[in-house]
Amino acid sequence: MYTIYHNPRCRKSREGLAILEASGKPFEIVRYLDDPPTGATLRELLDKLGMPARSLIRTGEAVWKASYKGKELSEEELIAAMSEHPKLIERPIVASESKAVLGRPPEAIKNFLTD
């Protein structure tokens, strides 16, 4: 079973969802802007992705520029920022029980599904 953290207003996220749909594999959709992930969920995703929190943050977002830009933030502070402001989370993310991939580019999802 796969999970896609999806924002339907994002073209890359829609492309990632289409790849999942075409694969025929079972999956669930988490609309993370409507149902923000907890800090624990984000830590788990980051572990599966094998990346630090900063790599998952959309630094072009207004909330980042207004509240966080230029600050030295710990991993936990970055995770808390993403949980509080889910717009900061890069998308789409597709996760299985043991690993995850950031769908940028969306073709990364194809490779992930064939592993």
Indicate which residue of 1, 3, 4, 10 is catalytic.
Answer: 10
Q: Is 10 a catalytic residue?
A: yes
Element (H, E) at 29: strand 27-30
Element (H, E) at 92: none
Structure tokens at 96: 């299985």
Calpha distance 28→94 (Å, rounded): 10
CA torsion sign, 27 to 29 to 32 to 35?
negative
Q: Which residues are identified as catalytic? A: 10
